[in-house]
Amino acid sequence: MIHTVNGSADPEFRPIVKVFQKQLEASGGGAALCVYHKGEPVIDIWAGQRTSMGDPWLKDTPAMSFSVTKGVLATMLHIIMDRTQLDYETQASSIWPSFKQNNKGHLTIRQFLCHEAGLFSLEDNIDHIHDIFDWDQMVWRIAKAKPAMNHLGEPSYHAVTYGWLLGELINRLTGQKPGEFLNAELRSVMGRNNFIGVPEKNLKDVAFIYQHPDQAPVQLGWKQKMSKYINKGIQNAFFHSPFTASALKPPTAELLDFNNPELLKAQVPAMNGVFTARGLGKLYNAIITPDEKNERLISTKRLEQVQVIQSHGRDKIIHVPMNWRLGYHRVLNMKTRAPQGFGHYGYGGAGAWCDPSRQLAVGFTHNALWNTPLGDYRMTQLSGEILSLIDKITAKENRDQFFL
């Protein structure tokens, strides 16, 4: 199926549009891509189907973006820390007193952000998968939880629990849960149709998630070849999550329906953020690009702190070096290095990131999932192509200036 790509792209970025189109033809469903360079949108495109009935993807179609939510959540916390002048070594229990149970009082905000709290197990904290819809219950269970001592201080991907760890800090510091904070503080940046907890009236706008490859309108035409250690990492990362039936003991052994309105309306801020590609691109652009008042979304000092790699080794859960920053990971791609880049990808291949050195910000959303958590390389492929093209454009500009 050949999809018509809507939107706009600067002529120099047409090769990226072609990659986007080929991916969509292979995966089915719908998708959107937004790229900012030097503070300006150079790609803002969308195509494909947003509903199971074949309705077209629109310019403001939002889609559940899974762990991309973690990057948005971390950004909120950085904004709040700028305002409160909190230090990353602040003990979380000084903000959230009940968290100190089971000898967790020493754990810091930095450890929360870097997946070092030893609290990655969802299985140990719920009786039924639908428990995750209840904010107060989940926060209390996390507060009572006992950390895995052999993972304390080591990066161990908190696939789902991350949302309540950071989210409750946000709640305690502002009196707003992440969804309310996003709506109050980031709507002017991200625009409409960006949510953590979708209002009832907006449910009709959310893209339908094709949850398994055989549900997609077009069968996937290529497979990701993955090494044994990555496959093992995939299994470990989501063993304690609701994404697979094997992840949870009875009576919780069931697949989570990503189109369930109750899930969409709940706040599960490690995974159920519903965003537009444009909103994500704008957010990451605002992190690195000063506005007309010469202000960034976070301070220059904090931006410098955020870029510092906190751990270089393999994550103990997913067995892949993620180079965790303060709430973000490296820009995974197939082409080149981006040592200053940071962001967060999501289950099934969505993602958002920025690279201050290249003055680049990217947001990508879609609604056709693959059958493994990290086995989809659409975002890694797009990221590599974008980085490579930007480097070529920059090199050409430098040559042209040299010969002037």
**Interval 110-156: pLDDT, tens:** 999 999 999 999 988 898 889 999 999 999 999 999 999 999 999 99
- Strand, coil or helix: what is 321? strand
Domain assignment of residue 330, yes or no: yes
Write the CB contacts of 90 (distance below 8 Å, at least 6 apart in sequence). 108, 109
Distances (CA, A) of 379 to 24, 48, 88, 251, 390: 12, 17, 30, 35, 16
Place of tokens 């149709």: 193
- Kindly provide the residue ranges of all beta strands, DSSP E only, lying in 54-212, ordered along the sequence: 63-64
Domain span including residue 214: 6-52+62-402
Residue 217 lies in a domain: yes
Per the domain annotation, does 196 fall within a domain? yes
State the pLDDT confidence band at 374, using cuts at 50, 70 and 90. low
Q: Give residue 226's pLDDT.
A: 34
Question: Two tokens at 173?
Answer: 């510091």
Instruction: Report the C-alpha gap between 110 and 181 in whole angstroms.
Output: 21
CA–CA dist 197, 28 (Å, integer): 26
* Rounded mean pLDDT, 147-175: 96
The total of structural domains in the chain comes to 1
Average pLDDT over residues 335-346: 96
At 399 the pLDDT is 82
Residue 144 one-letter amino acid: K
Per the domain annotation, does 1 fall within a domain? no
Instruction: Say which range, 19-23, 120-124, 204-208, 337-341, has the weakest mean pLDDT.
Output: 120-124
Examine residue 57 and state whether it is found in any structural domain, yes or no. no
**Given a cut of 90, is residue 371 above it in pLDDT?**
no
Where residue 236 sits, what CATH number does that domain have?
A: 3.40.710.10
The answer to whether residue 365 sits within a structural domain is: yes
SS3 category, 350: coil
pLDDT tens digits, one per residue of 265-317 = 999 999 999 999 999 999 999 999 998 888 899 999 999 999 999 999 999 99
User: How far is residue 123's CA from residue 253's CA, in Å, rounded to a whole number?
Assistant: 10
pLDDT digits (tens, 9 = 90+) for 1-59: 556 999 999 999 999 999 999 999 988 999 999 999 999 999 999 999 999 999 999 99
Q: What does each C-alpha distance from 388 to 345, 358, 396 come to in angstroms?
A: 19, 11, 13
Judge whether 378 lies within some domain: yes
pLDDT at position 233: 40
* Residue 111 to residue 224: CA distance in whole angstroms: 32
Q: pLDDT tens digits, residue range 376-403?
A: 789 999 999 999 999 999 998 888 675 5
Q: What are phi and psi of 357, to 5 degrees?
A: -65, -30
Categorize the per-residue pLDDT at 334 as very low, low, confident or very high, splitting at 50, 70 and 90.
confident
On whether residue 99 sits in a domain, the answer given is yes
Q: How far is CA 270 from CA 73, 213, 362, 397, in A?
A: 8, 23, 20, 40
